Amino acid sequence: MPKPAVLVTGGSKRIGAAISHRFAVAGWHVVIHYHSNVDDAQVLADTLPSAEIIACDLRDADAAAAMITQLANRLPDWRVLVNNASVFAYDDVTGIDAPTYSAAMQVNAHSPALMAQTYFQTARSDAGRRVIQITDMKLANTNPDFFSYTMSKHAVNGAIGMMAKATPDPRDRIYGVAPGAILASHDQTEGETDISHKLNLLQRKTGADEIADAALFLADGALASGETLYIDSGQHLLNQPRDVIYLAREGSRQ
């Protein structure tokens, strides 16, 4: 029997690489999507028991949908699509930056929603199909920083609930995974990361492996479609006035 397959967008780096590795060691065939860095993708694929790589620029919605159709035509048991790829550039609530907004909405919201739609229309799996959208704890704990990025994550999160009510096969599921601060991001130093990533209720650093474990758990479809798991050590339960990058720099523990 063929191994169940999973596509992980942005699957060669950071959280995506952790998700790719977790599914691979659990016995899945992993399709690692990358944008431009073929070397990183191939190096990771070569370390996994069953993996391949695929390139796509998710700024091109038509190309993103075509990638899904291409894979659906040849993967006999494609059970999971993990939309992990994301762009994270700064603008703030006082002034939206048009190029930043356009890129964020395209890569973080439009393409993931379209890929999910195309996946449910074309992919095959007798075990039921799963889409997992990687969102952000900023859904619940908003702040004025990374304005376009945050709007894009709210947009794709809204689509989760709508699509959960519209999937025709009761075995299918669409989920969200909302991470908190996981890895160094934007222009952070390692020292700042050690501080900022503990600005949560448990005062601990959340690991990329925890996101990967959550994605593998959701792949079983044990939860009702439309659910979101917050993997952030309780950060979404706070009301932080700024992104933790800047709270750490300001010496605040709010």
Name the domain count of the chain.
1
pLDDT score of 253 more than 60 = no
In a domain, 202, yes or no: no
pLDDT in tens, 172-211: 999 999 999 998 877 788 788 889 999 999 999 999 999 9
In a domain, 131, yes or no: yes
In a domain, 243, yes or no: no
In a domain, 36, yes or no: yes
Mean pLDDT of 71-78: 98
In a domain, 138, yes or no: yes
In a domain, 143, yes or no: yes
In a domain, 242, yes or no: no
**Whole-prediction pTM value?**
0.96
pLDDT at 252: 55
In a domain, 85, yes or no: yes
Q: From CA 80, how far away is CA 129, in angstroms rounded?
A: 6
pLDDT in tens, 37-51: 999 999 999 999 999
Q: What is the CATH number of the domain that holds 103?
A: 3.40.50.720
Q: In what order do the strands lie in the sheet containing 228-231?
A: 51-55, 29-34, 5-8, 78-83, 130-134, 173-179, 228-231
Q: How far is CA 70 from CA 52, 64, 97, 119, 178, in A?
A: 14, 10, 34, 10, 28
Confidence band of 152 (pLDDT split at 50, 70, 90): very high
| Three-class SS state of 152 | helix
Mean of all residue pLDDT scores within the chain:
95
CB 134 within 8 A of CB 107: no
- DSSP readout, 40-80? HHHHHHHHSSSEEEEE--TT-HHHHHHHHHHHHTT-TTEEE
What domain range is 117 assigned to? 5-188+207-236
Q: Which DSSP helix (H) or strand (E) runs through 249?
A: helix 244-250
